[in-house]
Amino acid sequence: MPSFSSAERERITARLRAAGAELFARQGLRKTTLEDLTGPAGISKAGFYSFFDSKEALFLDLMLEQAGEIGSRLTAAATGPSDTREGIAALLREILTVLETNPLYRRLLANPEEMRAVQARMGDAEADRASRALLRPLTDFIASAQSEGRIVDAEPGAVLGVLRTALLPALHRDELAPDTYAATMDLLIRTIAVGLTAPEATS
């Protein structure tokens, strides 16, 4: 297996991550080959394994990197407003902004088979770690808001499911009327925010 200096490893790792982020977002994990990844990095297929055990491992690495960056944005959005309804609405709007501006994150949410491929190659524990990291901003918000009595006292998993329904129209935007999409999303977000806010939090 080829050996690389520290500087080479740093440079090649950055190139592999950049190629992976672009290719996985555009064509998915299954259709991306090792040759697709190693070409931009200037290494052989054998050299790839000096950096990652598999393309699924690179995909997982990018997922975890995305989770950290996105998590900070979502947490800031949810905790910014003092009003609970506004906090929920801000959280959902920030998620939608991420979906519209981050093609890899959009791919992760729109194509669950990608996670199943990672799970099959990397194992349940690694796939679960990535899923938890991606959902942590939402689960942390739910736990905090419920403990403070600001959102409804329902099963946290059900609350998470309701929050995630707000993403469905964005993932199927091409099926909705363009002239009413923005109004539809605004109404959906406000409806979810009102429905999840505990009655006592509005008094």
- Residues 71-105: pLDDT tens digits? 888 889 988 888 999 999 999 999 999 888 888 88
151 φ/ψ angles, rounded to the nearest 5 degrees: -125, 165
Please give the radius of gyration of the chain, using alpha carbons only, rounded to the nearest integer.
20
4 pLDDT exceeds 80? yes
| Single-letter amino acid, residue 66 | Q
Q: What is the pLDDT of residue 34?
A: 95
pLDDT at 1 (0 to 100): 60
- pLDDT by residue (tens digit) across 13-66? 999 999 999 999 999 989 999 999 999 999 999 999 999 999 999 998 998 888
Q: What is the mean pLDDT of the chain?
A: 89
pLDDT at residue 2, as a whole number: 67
Three-state secondary structure of 54-80: CHHHHHHHHHHHHHHHHHHHHHHHHHC
Q: 188 pLDDT exceeds 90?
A: yes
Q: Higher-confidence residue: 202 or 112?
A: 112
Query: How large a percentage of the chain has pLDDT more than 70?
Result: 98
Q: Residue 203's pLDDT is what?
A: 53
Q: Which domains does the chain have, with CATH numbers?
A: 1-52 (1.10.10.60), 56-202 (1.10.357.10)
